[in-house]
Structure 1
Amino acid sequence: MATREELYLPDDCWESILKIFLNDCDNNRCFLPSLSVVSKQFLSVTDSCKLSLTISDQTLPLLPRLFQRFTKLTSLDLTGITGDQDALLTQISCFPLQVKSLSVSSNDQWTIPANGLRIFSQKITTLTSLVCSNIFLISKSDLYLVADSFPLLEELELAIKVDSYDDSEMCGITLALPKLRKVNLSGSYHIYDSSLLHLCKNCEFLEEVVMFDCKNLTAIGIASAIRERPNLRSFYFTLSEAMNIGMEMNDSLRSMKRLSCLDLSFSCISDQLLLSLGNKGVYLRRLVLRHCTGYSYTGILYLLSMSCFLQHLDLENATFLSDCRVAKLCKYLFSLVSINLSHCMQLTESTLFALVKNCPFLGEIRMEYTDIGKFGVEKFSSSTDFTHMEMKSLHLANNSFLNDETLKWFASIFPNLQLLDVNKCHCISDEGIVEVLRSCKIVHLNLSSCENVNLHAMNFQVPMLEVLNLSYTRTDDKTLDAISKSCSRLLHLDLEECINVSDMGVKQVIENCTRLKEINLRYCGNMAADVDIWLAMVLSRPSLRKIKAPSHFYPQIYTKWKPLLDHGCFLCP
């Protein structure tokens, strides 16, 4: 009989085994807590599998323990921090981390945390990705700081306002970052043609450029820059009508031999541009023409007929599309994985049927603000008996004709559906939703503003549901009772403005949904503001990370709420 020592496997072996297991599972993060309680060794191994950490104000007191526990972190996100990011970065630099990706984006920061980044760079020299978006202003000195402190940067996002600089300064900054592969400078008022030219000229490994809404770029300037870097793979620009796009731009785009991703959202383009790309025979994998104007069905049909490897297509607000025209496009979309046809008002369930019939790999459809449900699904359900195993996500919000019969049809043909968003679909009821929950593998369900849904008929297990949005619905304590009995793995529950729920129903959910992390109770006016009730509920569920309190709660005023506030998950209205 083998001894305990002979059966022992070292941590690195278990780590390899668990990584193989987790990589084979969808949504693999949910398995880490369960694996970690098997043994102390598994706890140590699963800790090493966590590579990213999002830091919020609530987690700040726990940071030393978290960094000691998760020693292999490579990605940190400081977006949720409202306080002093300089001090936080200084604190992080004291730990022996090998951070490769850092985000210091924030809606509350006027400037980047320059001092903190400088100290951070002196101790942690492995950074290759930096995101500094949604910050009001970045100065020239900040740009130099980034370039001098992080010479290994491969990905840089500075989607912010930058004060003016001259050509020599931009040239020097791009020369200091020779390894750049991806750059996002969207929204900058001081990005000119010369700036883009220096970027493309000096960064020989550049593959992706994102410059949405850069008002001072011209078509000629963009075309000139592209010719300096013909190996660009991804191109994200807003081309305005004032740019007067001509043959020079068309020729430059055609010269991009490795172009696989083209995003021209909110641009004014032409059929001539699409025909030029089609004539080149580009091998696009992603094409985004969201809210674009100036082109027609003729141009997009020709381009798609020449792009047989396309996987992601976004034609949002292409108002010229009809069911018949989409059916013709489907002939060229065999490799499609995701499509966005939202705000294409003429499209109905016929389009959805054509897509799932002709695109065997399609996993995500967005058809918000369309006419799905207008004509009924009888002709499809009676003439065809098939299932589409790849479909995982359906975004169908604001479809006024969407009804229970259509939902039942979805349930019958999409057995692996994981995400369903039907918010503001006023014609659906429990009859359709319950059938979807019973037949599919729903993980994320958005029923916001569906006033005819209350889930009273959900009397069976929904083992995979993790995110449930019932905001602005007729949800009551009976609904919460059904949820507490059927949705044991629920993580996030949104009950905003569900005026019929009380603390009794919420207590049932918190007691029985043992993995619950977040609950939104804003504007739930029937909730009791009793600190003893809430303290008992919070302490009974250690997994809770965030509670958005009703508007009539005033815990800051009364000292008896202090223990609850100190717990860290209770948020004031």
Structure 2
Amino acid sequence: MKRKRTISLNSSSITTRSKTRAAAAAAAAKFYLPDDCWESVFKFVINDKSKFKNRRYLNSLSLVSKQFLSITNSLNLSLTIYNGSRPFLRRLFQRFTNLTSLDLTWYDRDLNKLLCQISRFPLNLTTLTSLTCSRVDSLRSGDMCLIADCFPNLQLLDLSYCSYVSEEGILQVLRRCCKLRHLNLANCSKIELHGMNFEVPNLEVLNLSRTSVDDETLYMISQSCRGLLQLLLRSCYVTERGVNYVIENCTQLREINLRGCCKVHASFVASMLLSRPSLREIIVPSLRHFSVTEREFFKRHICLVY
């Protein structure tokens, strides 16, 4: 009798577990959300401008389930490559298929080998529109050609503090990456851009702070980059003549930074505004106390001057 009762209890337990699983499966099916819905939820929850906080949130969500891991992989749009990342590059690019931004700032090995490796991947990197190579001293002319080959749809390129980057390499990128909108060459001390004798129609932001640009450079820019919205010339050896080239020909210019340009006088600001009414922000060569009349003039032209 005891044996029969034990068998009966075991059967009852199995039946109960089966019913529980069936109920759980039914509940899961009832509350199932497709990937695109979860993606919208995650985007709403993670609505934070800090990419570091976003990465932390995505890492936490990816631990919940395989479905969440797959979704968070597709939401990760930026990748920073370190020295130890190179052996895993193929897997990283296969995992994060929607990358739009790549940061090589912390990679201080042979950049040419890294770019050659990336160029041989049978992957679609056309989604990548932003590349940061700030402070990469190993950057050479050949690397710039590889950058243009690997990332033809670049819209933002940051080469700030790249001491040895060549002018010819930069010109190659400008010729071939036709969608480039933002170029940062700050502190590339040898850059002059005298050879930019071709049109760069989509360039909107150009940072040439602390470079070797002069009035000839500004003339070339005024002819080649007429769609410029923002020009940064901090501590550059330019004069009012060169600045005037840009003011006259870059008809959409909204911001210009002249801090530290000792050959440009602050009194030149008023004539800049008269010549280019689109200006909304002017950082003058040196700190100056403007008169009430001058401040009223700037206010009428809706331009912040400081």
Fold shared, TM-score > 0.5 on shorter chain: yes
SS in 1 for 2:221: helix
Give the distance between the partners of 1:285 and 1:348, measured in 2 at CA: 30
AA matched with 1:333: R
> Once the 2 structures are TM-superposed, how far is the Cα of residue 508 of structure 1 from its aligned partner?
1.1
> Once the 2 structures are TM-superposed, how far is the Cα of residue 504 of structure 1 from its aligned partner?
1.2
AA matched with 2:89: V
User: Would you say the 8 A contact 1:323–1:346 is kept in 2?
Assistant: no
Q: In 2 relative to 1, CA 496–339 (structure 1 residues): closer, same or farther, beyond 3 Å? A: closer
**Higher CA-based Rg:** 2
User: Would you say the 8 A contact 1:401–1:427 is kept in 2?
Assistant: yes
> Once the 2 structures are TM-superposed, how far is the Cα of residue 569 of structure 1 from its aligned partner?
1.0
The counterpart of 2:133, out of the listed 388, 396, 405, is 396
User: Would you say the 8 A contact 2:218–2:245 is kept in 1?
Assistant: yes
> Once the 2 structures are TM-superposed, how far is the Cα of residue 546 of structure 1 from its aligned partner?
0.9
Partner of 1:93: none
AA matched with 2:280: R
Partner of 2:215: 477
Kindly indicate whether residue 200 of structure 2 is the aligned counterpart of residue 437 of structure 1: no
Partner of 1:312: 76
Unaligned runs of 5+ in 1: 1-204, 213-234, 239-260, 265-272, 288-308, 363-388
Partner of 1:535: 270
Partner of 1:335: 97
The counterpart of 2:193, out of the listed 434, 455, 462, is 455
| Bigger RCO of structures 1 and 2 (CA < 8 A, at least 6 apart) | 2
Q: In 2 relative to 1, CA 209–263 (structure 1 residues): closer, same or farther, beyond 3 Å? A: farther
- Cα distance per residue 1:146-171 (max 9 Å; x no partner): xxxxxxxxxxxxxxxxxxxxxxxxxx
User: Would you say the 8 A contact 2:230–2:253 is kept in 1?
Assistant: yes
Partner of 1:506: 243
Q: Give matches, 1:78-97, under 5 Å.
A: none
Partner of 1:281: 66
> Once the 2 structures are TM-superposed, how far is the Cα of residue 436 of structure 1 from its aligned partner?
1.2
SS in 1 for 2:161: coil
Q: In 2 relative to 1, CA 329–489 (structure 1 residues): closer, same or farther, beyond 3 Å? A: closer
AA matched with 2:279: L
> Once the 2 structures are TM-superposed, how far is the Cα of residue 440 of structure 1 from its aligned partner?
1.6
Alpha-carbon RMSD across the aligned residues, in angstroms, is 3.3
Partner of 2:58: 262
Give the distance between the partners of 1:451 and 1:554, measured in 2 at CA: 31
Give the distance between the partners of 1:404 and 1:539, measured in 2 at CA: 41
The counterpart of 1:515, out of the listed 252, 259, 262, is 252
Q: Give matches, 1:124-523, under 5 Å.
A: 209=45, 262-263=58-59, 277=63, 280-284=65-69, 310=74, 312=76, 316=80, 321-330=84-93, 332-333=94-95, 335-338=97-100, 340=102, 342=104, 343-346=106-109, 348-358=111-121, 360-362=123-125, 389-441=126-178, 442-498=180-236, 500-523=237-260
User: Would you say the 8 A contact 1:211–1:237 is kept in 2?
Assistant: no
> Once the 2 structures are TM-superposed, how far is the Cα of residue 210 of structure 1 from its aligned partner?
5.6
> Once the 2 structures are TM-superposed, how far is the Cα of residue 495 of structure 1 from its aligned partner?
0.8
Give the distance between the partners of 1:487 and 1:479, measured in 2 at CA: 11
Partner of 1:563: 297
> Once the 2 structures are TM-superposed, how far is the Cα of residue 469 of structure 1 from its aligned partner?
0.6
Give the distance between the partners of 1:318 and 1:393, measured in 2 at CA: 17
> Once the 2 structures are TM-superposed, how far is the Cα of residue 209 of structure 1 from its aligned partner?
4.6
User: Would you say the 8 A contact 1:398–1:422 is kept in 2?
Assistant: yes
Give the distance between the partners of 1:554 and 1:474, measured in 2 at CA: 29
Give the distance between the partners of 1:349 and 1:395, measured in 2 at CA: 15
Pairs aligned (count):
260
User: Would you say the 8 A contact 2:112–2:142 is kept in 1?
Assistant: no
SS in 2 for 1:358: coil
Kindly indicate whether residue 281 of structure 2 is the aligned counterpart of residue 546 of structure 1: yes
User: Would you say the 8 A contact 1:283–1:310 is kept in 2?
Assistant: no
Give the distance between the partners of 2:46 and 2:223, measured in 1 at CA: 47
Unaligned runs of 5+ in 2: 1-39
> Once the 2 structures are TM-superposed, how far is the Cα of residue 339 of structure 1 from its aligned partner?
5.4
> Once the 2 structures are TM-superposed, how far is the Cα of residue 561 of structure 1 from its aligned partner?
6.0
SS in 1 for 2:58: strand
User: Would you say the 8 A contact 1:393–1:420 is kept in 2?
Assistant: yes
Partner of 2:4: none
User: Would you say the 8 A contact 1:322–1:347 is kept in 2?
Assistant: no
SS in 1 for 2:261: coil
User: Would you say the 8 A contact 1:495–1:520 is kept in 2?
Assistant: yes
SS in 1 for 2:69: coil
AA matched with 1:461: E
User: Would you say the 8 A contact 1:285–1:312 is kept in 2?
Assistant: no
Give the distance between the partners of 2:91 and 2:110, measured in 1 at CA: 13
User: Would you say the 8 A contact 2:103–2:131 is kept in 1?
Assistant: no
Give the distance between the partners of 1:237 and 1:436, measured in 2 at CA: 30
Give the distance between the partners of 1:409 and 1:483, measured in 2 at CA: 25
Give the distance between the partners of 2:199 and 2:171, measured in 1 at CA: 11
Give the distance between the partners of 1:434 and 1:206, measured in 2 at CA: 43
> Once the 2 structures are TM-superposed, how far is the Cα of residue 559 of structure 1 from its aligned partner?
4.2
- Percent of counterpart pairs with the same letter? 37
- Cα distance per residue 1:400-421 (max 9 Å; x no partner): 1011111122224433322211
> Once the 2 structures are TM-superposed, how far is the Cα of residue 480 of structure 1 from its aligned partner?
0.6
SS in 2 for 1:284: helix
More off after superposition, 407-416 vs 534-543: 407-416
SS in 2 for 1:536: helix
> Once the 2 structures are TM-superposed, how far is the Cα of residue 326 of structure 1 from its aligned partner?
2.4
AA matched with 1:402: L
User: Would you say the 8 A contact 1:547–1:571 is kept in 2?
Assistant: yes
SS in 2 for 1:493: strand
Q: Give matches, 1:56-75, under 5 Å.
A: none
Q: Give matches, 1:43-54, under 5 Å.
A: none
